[in-house]
């Protein structure tokens, strides 16, 4: 697989990563199978998808424990990307950016992941009750202590989801302000935010900021939470705990309206060969947005981990990209 270099610390990873969240969080809980997830991680590594993206809150904790079972044997092949700053309570997920908590959380992640060092430690969400410089300063101390190699900043949130375009790039002002503030404390190596064919907003707000500073960009939800693969049926519904059960893009109406996007991706896939899928074209589009961009498609299935890793071999033409740019904007928003 093509390798990409991200961040001031010049971190090298496979062009496509693996999002591990669906193995323990957010989607179709009834279909989680530990052994299948382990095979998915092994397959990703076999195919060069080295960046494994997790978080302490996925599960909570069980996703890191699962990865630890693979890392025990294959640490050298993997690039471990985890997150701190969100805690799962009885009723709510809450932010915690207090320095003492960050230090304890890092030690606990290292134990669960069965590794001595985390390659990329990301701030999952800034804590509104703690100056972001304080949280980031504590994370920087972990680099100095040799527990972490580089720092990342997650900017997944309402602004990124709303499909901001050139007309409202200002939606990212708040997060860009935070990025500038933490840069004064310690270099940001990667920003993680939503980027996909149906949520291209980061192209105008965040990607140029990253490109200008040599900061990597990890594209979360590059498959539109599965929708862009064309494997979800409008109106079929979701399990009550599935994040999509409450997502405005996953109402039966929005899903039916947005089928035009899947049709467009499938047409392009067909031109690239009988084995090429809409999901792979969606990932190839993300890869085409810059050499500093690494999609982290999430899955709990071995078959899809392999399919997604192989998307690195699908090279879109200028005509393909123009066709995707001409697809209709997605229906369904948080606004
Ligand atoms: N920093 C943050 O706050 C944040 C937020 C969201 C996500 N993320 C990261 O970004 C990663 C990716 O985002 P995501 O997992 O939410 O969304 P995604 O990658 O857009 O889509 C994941 C969904 O697509 C399905 N899928 C995956 N590959 C497929 C394929 N080839 N064909 C058909 N369906 C496929 C998966 O099904 P199965 O579940 O059945 O495998 C899963 O339900 C996460 O895993 C996580 O690491 C970070």
Phi, psi torsion values for 197, nearest 5 degrees: -55, -35
Q: Which domains does the chain have, with CATH numbers?
A: 3-223+283-314 (3.20.20.100)
Q: Whose CA is nearest to atom 7 of ligand 1?
A: 220
Query: What is the rounded average pLDDT of the residues 75-96?
Result: 94
Spacing, Cα 298 to ligand 1 middle (Å): 3
Ligand 1 atom nearest the C-alpha of 192 is: 1
Ligand 1 atom nearest the C-alpha of 21 is: 45
Looking at residue 162, its pLDDT comes to 45
Q: 165 pLDDT band (50/70/90 cuts)?
A: low
pLDDT of 312 above 90: yes
Q: How many CB atoms lie within 10 A of CB 234?
A: 16
Query: What is the rounded average pLDDT of the residues 5-10?
Result: 84
Q: Which two tokens stand for residue 329?
A: 């904007």
Looking at residue 308, its pLDDT comes to 98
Spacing, Cα 146 to ligand 1 middle (Å): 30
Query: What is the rounded average pLDDT of the residues 312-325?
Result: 98
Looking at residue 272, its pLDDT comes to 98
Element (H, E) at 79: strand 79-84
Query: What is the rounded average pLDDT of the residues 210-224?
Result: 97
Q: Which long-range contacts (CB under 8 A, 24 or more apart) does 142-148 make?
A: 142/102, 142/103, 142/106, 143/186, 146/117, 147/106, 147/107, 147/110, 147/116, 147/117, 147/118, 148/106, 148/117, 148/118, 148/119, 148/120, 148/121
Answer for the pair 49, 57: CB distance below 8 angstroms, yes or no.
no
Q: 196 pLDDT band (50/70/90 cuts)?
A: very high
Ligand 1: list residues with CB < 6 Å.
19-22, 27-28, 31, 53, 124, 154, 156, 192, 220-226, 229, 231, 279, 296-301, 304, 307-308
Percent of the chain's residues with pLDDT above 90: 85
Which range in 24-33, 43-52, 160-169 is most confidently predicted, on average pLDDT? 43-52
Cis ω before 60 (30° cut-off from 0): yes
> pLDDT averaged over the chain?
94
Q: pLDDT, tens digit, for every residue of 49-67?
A: 999 999 999 999 999 999 9
Spacing, Cα 220 to ligand 1 middle (Å): 8
Q: Whose CA is nearest to atom 27 of ligand 1?
A: 299
Ligand 1 atom nearest the C-alpha of 218 is: 10
Spacing, Cα 226 to ligand 1 middle (Å): 6
Which range in 85-94, 178-187, 203-212 is most confidently predicted, on average pLDDT? 178-187
Q: Whose CA is nearest to atom 26 of ligand 1?
A: 226
Q: pLDDT, tens digit, for every residue of 249-285?
A: 999 999 999 999 999 999 999 999 999 999 999 999 9
Segment among 5-9, 43-47, 206-210, 217-221 with least mean pLDDT: 5-9
Spacing, Cα 54 to ligand 1 middle (Å): 11
pLDDT of 90 above 90: no
pLDDT of 148 above 60: yes
Q: Which two tokens stand for residue 202?
A: 């980061």
Looking at residue 293, its pLDDT comes to 98
Q: Which of 58, 121, 167, 253 is catalytic?
A: 58
Looking at residue 155, its pLDDT comes to 93
Spacing, Cα 274 to ligand 1 middle (Å): 24
Ligand 1 atom nearest the C-alpha of 308 is: 31
pLDDT of 168 above 70: no
Q: Which two tokens stand for residue 34?
A: 């530990």
Task: Check if 121 is active-site.
Answer: no
Q: 160 pLDDT band (50/70/90 cuts)?
A: very low
Ligand 1 atom nearest the C-alpha of 277 is: 31
Q: How many CB atoms lie within 10 A of CB 71?
A: 21
Q: 158 pLDDT band (50/70/90 cuts)?
A: very low
Query: What is the rounded average pLDDT of the residues 71-88?
Result: 97
């Amino acid at each position: 697989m093509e390798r990409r270099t991200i961040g001031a610390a010049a971190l090298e990873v496979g062009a496509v990563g693996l999002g591990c969240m669906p193995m323990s969080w957010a989607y179709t809980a009834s279909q989680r199978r530990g052994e299948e997830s382990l095979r998915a991680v092994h397959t990703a590594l076999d195919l060069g998808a080295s960046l494994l993206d997790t978080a302490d809150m996925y599960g909570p904790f069980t996703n890191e424990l699962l990865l630890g079972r693979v890392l025990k044997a294959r640490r050298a092949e993997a690039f471990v990307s985890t997150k701190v700053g969100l805690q799962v309570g009885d009723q709510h997920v809450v932010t915690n950016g207090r320095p003492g908590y960050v230090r304890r959380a890092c030690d606990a992640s290292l134990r669960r992941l069965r590794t001595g060092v985390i390659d990329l430690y990301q701030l999952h969400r800034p804590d509104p009750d703690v100056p972001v410089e304080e949280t980031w300063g504590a994370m920087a101390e972990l680099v100095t202590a040799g527990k972490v190699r580089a720092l990342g900043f997650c900017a997944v949130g309402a602004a990124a989801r709303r499909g901001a375009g050139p007309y409202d790039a200002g939606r990212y002002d708040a997060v860009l302000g935070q990025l500038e503030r933490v840069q004064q404390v310690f270099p940001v190596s990667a920003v993680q935010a939503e980027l996909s064919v149906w949520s291209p907003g980061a192209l105008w707000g965040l990607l140029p900021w990253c490109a200008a500073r040599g900061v990597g960009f990890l594209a979360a939800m590059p498959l539109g939470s599965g929708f862009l693969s064309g494997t979800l049926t409008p109106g079929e519904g979701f399990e009550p705990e599935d994040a999509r059960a409450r997502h405005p893009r996953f109402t039966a109406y929005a899903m039916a309206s947005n089928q035009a996007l899947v049709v467009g991706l499938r047409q392009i896939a067909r031109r690239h060969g009988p084995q090429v899928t809409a999901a792979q074209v969606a990932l190839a589009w993300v890869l085409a947005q810059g050499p500093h961009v690494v999609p982290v498609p999430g899955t709990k299935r071995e078959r899809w981990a392999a399919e997604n890793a192989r998307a690195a071999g699908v090279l879109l033409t200028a005509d393909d990209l123009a066709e995707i740019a001409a697809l209709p904007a997605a229906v369904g928003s948080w606004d």
